[in-house]
Structure 1
């Protein structure tokens, strides 16, 4: 706060002590300092403390000095005041706006003085900004905007036009430098204050007619865009509840004016189009074919006459752009879009194309060939504007354009095939197809996708760098290579880089590569991958790699070709993506996703103690290793024998192998053998040698239970087989060479806690022992 106070004090000191003639060079520096003092300028100025009282004094001193400078006699002082007022108003907001009425009057007065053009332009910008800032405060609108805005409109219109005293219309000044800035300012304010603009609507309309209908000289595109936006915004000034009808009337008049202009422009050919509206069939005017093409009257919009094919094409393009503005400009109320009339118009404009092989155009015999060829040269401009109109229509309707999307796509491809040599046509076609695919792409059939193949290949060609072809040789009759001397360029041999530099500096459309890249990404994202032929998809991926466009490469990786029976799996371009954009976060997340581990427990999102977590881990380990539990149980307790005589149940036996010790020659078996038991007779089982004074805790052998002949025998699962030299499971009395057999008496009165009786007499030979150890 102290630094802001010092800055404000320094600004006041310089404004007071520096001569007015020397203020313009430092005006930008002072405006920057005031912009940094927003906290002080926007704070309420009614505090009682000494420091805040000093700040309030500095703010009051600044406002007094600005009011004095805006009324200064020198243009330098007024220019400095205009610049600083804009900075103070934007920094101080409501605290400054509530006391800026004298400043607003001074700014409006500057527009009528003989100040430099730059001062008047800055005054228009500052006043527009003040009116915008007061819109959110109804009290300030009532106190400042409502009484001051009519004077501003009148002063702004006086900068660009002259109003006769007896007529309600205005005449545009020729070569006025304020036209664009005034039209932009009025277009921004008319929607928020339509009631105030209503008395001036006729005057504004007359000025716009002169701008839009100008044939010579033509205005820059930025001026035309501002005029079109303001022309459409005039419907806000209509009386209550009639703005929708006013907008509809403006669209209908624009459509009628386009058709009337097309009647003269397309007179060199015989149109094969017939309107669905009977009123348009009889609306054509008689023409004099002996004279140059021209329209000597006023059209439906009140636009003036024009002469010459160039002027007619310019008028047609401007009207198409204004119709696009009608579809994209926000309206005051709900409106009904004349969809049928718009499609009828585009059908007429796209039916006339440049003649190609197999697509002839019927000429009008009453018109000279020169005018017809001139028309063919201007058709790409008309068709580019037509496709821009269709793009605006689809963007406005969004999903509502799905029923007419196929019709629009057919019109686009019809024009594209005939005029794809024009960069403007290609850019407009790419943009329109991109907009269509976002709504209708997933529903395209394989046949529809095949019709887009030519456009897709052209899109890939526009993204690739120019190809430098070497000089070709023409073989002669004897089969020897012979250079074509008639077409060889000697300079290319002396300076090979000349051709490459010429191709590299060749002029290109500013938005060609951008729209082509966006279209390729849309094709990979929205078009079903299985409908793209392998060759076309390979060309798309190749172009994507060479152009190094991140969005297109991501779309290719995220939409791979699905596997098809009889076709090899296609390779992904992910390595090229990772190499081209190694530091990009989206690529990093695609290659190495770091998503959190999803737990299957019920404790998701809760805290667990370390001890509980360790116990859970032990339980999980125990569940994963049931054989270790069995071994521990056998070492500490007496083996339990299943005496159930029911039918045995088979259980899967897990395989477990142990690596032998370096000094051990025994081989651990992968799976122990099961004894073969006959239902009728129980055969004797090889027995284990006796264990001298061994306790149950050190028992590690495999117990084989001899069960009397009964209905069934239940066999226990084989326990873990361990090595004899293992210190953890070592036994007393030497290694085990067989299986321990527990003889269970047939009486049921014996206790289960007693140890089973071991058979000490082995009845197997050496071959059986070896087989048992290996098996």
Structure 2
């Protein structure tokens, strides 16, 4: 009796095998996608090792039948059968893993044969994708690389290069081949080294096709960008660890080719730029100022083909700038030295030539030896060139970050200059917003007030691009007294459409960066009001949060103005970020003060000490103040003398020790710390007004009677030097209590009110 399948997916794989065998070949492409998706549920069975399958014979038979069925389809004579086989082979290898991959050498040879057959482009494209996937899965296993990848890769590269040159190669197949080469080249540079020259010529032809129309084959932008990536990666093929030097030579050649092209494209204007990197003109100016179109008759330093006309030259400049951007965005085999100064010198030259505003030649000087038509054509293509420059700078800043702080001021100045001339172009505005936001993230807090005022046109244009057309009148108010009107700073020649998502996203992203990275004290008030108004009308959460966290400040710096927190809470009531701002749940930070109950008890105790006790005894508060004024305050442990009892005289050392304040004083309110005016007046009249003998004859201790509101009298003995001590300590009232008035007519509360009115 046969043993039942033990591994999960065995029944599913068996049914899939039966379905493939029973379905007509012409109908297989319709079910290939469904069968491929079901193979993933059988991955445990397909990836099981040989010993486990021997223990269960049925599982091994099911897997063997399935693999045999795929091998049969790979040898099928029909196009439908081979197409379905390619799809199923890729799904089986990904589901089976190492167990299926190790036995896929025969499948690889069949797939390589598909690349040479006149099958539809989709079959060849799927074959390329499947082979690349197989090669990638072998990278972690040296034995599989040696057995599968190394023998098959040369034939794969040769077949791909032949298909690129063939007229039957479609656009999708070309893109698939270029992406496959970009994936495999960094991992197998020695295999590609023998095909480097052939591959470089094909890549140069693809890249230069935009400036040389009329070729045998049309290439779209995705082809050009991928070809640029493969061309940059060719430095890995340099022998003897020379990849870094090869990469540096390619970068310098690209910069040189860009300058050479600009010499011809910019000949209709007189440039004010002077190279700071020692770049000299490729052709003397006398040879350029001749009749005829601007052109380059031979290949440039990179190896790109010839071009003719300003429009073709501008396309070549954009292509070379994109090639420089590709250098910045892709990794290198080894560490490389980046010549930032050489690239910055090139971008400075390109941004120095701008479009005249309103037809006036205020930004550039025309070259009268060149026709006006060529100059107008140059003005037409300048925004596209500048967009490529800004994208290049964006990639450089993204790669190096804060290491470029030294060049940020010059970049802001060039960007501001170009924005005034070409803010009417939507692509230029989108690129300028992205680049400015990137710079402000690193350098925004260090900008001065004048520099922030120079950036006002960017923020006004952002509000213009973000707001709906019905609300764009809100940015028409003036920014500040000495500045131009905001509507003049807004774009004049174009109205952005909702379809331009890149412009809207870039403008929306810049506003919160401006509020969070720039100093609110230096922000123009009316410009800040326009941004806040835009945030409310567009209901943009990031801008509202940035405005709440960085509130505007009054011009005098006296405090913050009204916040947008009510609008933020109303628009986004359920947002966790808004909840954290409104009700922050931070841990309690103890400041050293006691709890509220203890403070209340202390206040009640102090108030109770102020009340007059009508029990026949003098108030201790009054006696303490008198002793303090007389410089003979008793210590806390010393008892108050009874009525008629004389206080013995002590020396100055003992008195000073007793008069010293305690090291730790209890917390008292500010009201208790005030000097008592009653005590001060008492100190002034004390020697003359107190009853007793004549002060001139008082040489010994005499008892003195002080009348208070209490019914009884308290006798205090005063030393002879009490009066001078009272005058010296008149301004030093160390009492923690407030003196009640020495009268029986008014109560303590009324005297306190009079004291406050007097102050």
Please name the residue that 2:620 is paired with. none
- Cα offsets for 1:466-496 (capped at 9, x unmatched): 13899xxxxxxxxxxxxxxxxxxxxxxxxxx
* Mean Cα deviation higher: 277-286 or 315-324: 277-286
Q: CA deviation at 1:219?
A: 2.4
Q: CA deviation at 1:90?
A: 2.2
Give me the whole-angstrom Cα distance separating, in 2, the residues matched to 1:131 and 1:123: 12
Give me the whole-angstrom Cα distance separating, in 2, the residues matched to 1:707 and 1:30: 112
1:401-440 to 2 correspondence within 5 Å? Answer: 401-440=404-443
Tell me whether 1:178 sits opposite 2:173 in the alignment: yes
- Cα offsets for 1:387-419 (capped at 9, x unmatched): 111212222221111111111221211111111
Give me the whole-angstrom Cα distance separating, in 1, the residues matched to 2:447 and 2:709: 75
**Contact 2:26/2:80 (<8 A) preserved:** yes
Structure 1, gaps ≥5 residues long = 163-171, 471-502, 602-616, 631-640, 656-675, 688-703, 719-764
* Mean Cα deviation higher: 400-409 or 225-234: 400-409
Q: CA deviation at 1:235?
A: 0.3
Please name the residue that 1:26 is paired with. 31
- Cα offsets for 1:304-356 (capped at 9, x unmatched): 11222221211111111111111221111111112222122112211211112
Give me the whole-angstrom Cα distance separating, in 1, the residues matched to 2:80 and 2:213: 37
Please name the residue that 1:572 is paired with. 563
Tell me whether 1:69 sits opposite 2:41 in the alignment: no
Q: CA deviation at 1:173?
A: 7.7
**Contact 2:426/2:496 (<8 A) preserved:** no
Tell me whether 1:148 sits opposite 2:152 in the alignment: yes
Structure 2, gaps ≥5 residues long = 1-5, 474-493, 607-635, 642-657, 670-681, 691-702, 720-735, 738-743, 751-759
Please name the residue that 2:293 is paired with. 292
Please name the residue that 1:732 is paired with. none
Q: CA deviation at 1:581?
A: 2.3
* Distance verdict in 2 for CA 1:48–1:645, change over 3 Å: same
Give me the whole-angstrom Cα distance separating, in 2, the residues matched to 1:458 and 1:58: 68
* Mean Cα deviation higher: 93-102 or 412-421: 93-102
Q: CA deviation at 1:707?
A: 7.6
Give me the whole-angstrom Cα distance separating, in 1, the residues matched to 2:708 and 2:101: 111
1:85-484 to 2 correspondence within 5 Å? Answer: 85-161=89-165, 177-214=172-209, 215-217=212-214, 219-278=219-278, 280-281=280-281, 283-284=283-284, 286-287=287-288, 289-356=290-357, 357=360, 359-467=362-470
Tell me whether 1:55 sits opposite 2:59 in the alignment: yes
- Cα offsets for 1:647-692 (capped at 9, x unmatched): 899999999xxxxxxxxxxxxxxxxxxxx999833769879xxxxx
Match of 1:680 among 696, 704, 723: 704
* Distance verdict in 2 for CA 1:34–1:262, change over 3 Å: same
**Contact 1:622/1:629 (<8 A) preserved:** no
**Partner secondary structure for residue 113 of structure 1:** coil
Give me the whole-angstrom Cα distance separating, in 2, the residues matched to 1:383 and 1:337: 22
**Partner secondary structure for residue 644 of structure 1:** coil
Please name the residue that 1:744 is paired with. none
Q: CA deviation at 1:187?
A: 0.5
**Contact 1:42/1:96 (<8 A) preserved:** yes
Equivalences, count? 626
Q: CA deviation at 1:64?
A: 2.5
Give me the whole-angstrom Cα distance separating, in 2, the residues matched to 1:408 and 1:566: 31
* Distance verdict in 2 for CA 1:65–1:624, change over 3 Å: farther
Match of 1:44 among 46, 49, 53: 49
Q: CA deviation at 1:271?
A: 2.0
Q: Which is richer in helix?
A: 2
- Cα offsets for 1:272-310 (capped at 9, x unmatched): 223245552354583473322222211112211122222
- Cα offsets for 1:115-155 (capped at 9, x unmatched): 22111111111111221222122222122111111111111
Give me the whole-angstrom Cα distance separating, in 2, the residues matched to 1:449 and 1:178: 51
Q: CA deviation at 1:569?
A: 3.3
* Distance verdict in 2 for CA 1:599–1:93, change over 3 Å: farther
Please name the residue that 1:473 is paired with. none
* Mean Cα deviation higher: 509-518 or 230-239: 509-518
Please name the residue that 1:541 is paired with. 532
Give me the whole-angstrom Cα distance separating, in 1, the residues matched to 2:518 and 2:668: 51
Please name the residue that 2:483 is paired with. none
Give me the whole-angstrom Cα distance separating, in 2, the residues matched to 1:316 and 1:189: 29
**Partner secondary structure for residue 196 of structure 1:** helix
Give me the whole-angstrom Cα distance separating, in 2, the residues matched to 1:143 and 1:533: 70
Superposition CA RMSD, Å: 4.0
What TM-score, normalized by structure 2, do the two folds share? Answer: 0.74
* Distance verdict in 2 for CA 1:144–1:469, change over 3 Å: closer
Please name the residue that 2:613 is paired with. none
Tell me whether 1:523 sits opposite 2:514 in the alignment: yes
Q: CA deviation at 1:430?
A: 0.9
Please name the residue that 2:40 is paired with. 35
Please name the residue that 2:577 is paired with. 586
Q: CA deviation at 1:451?
A: 1.0
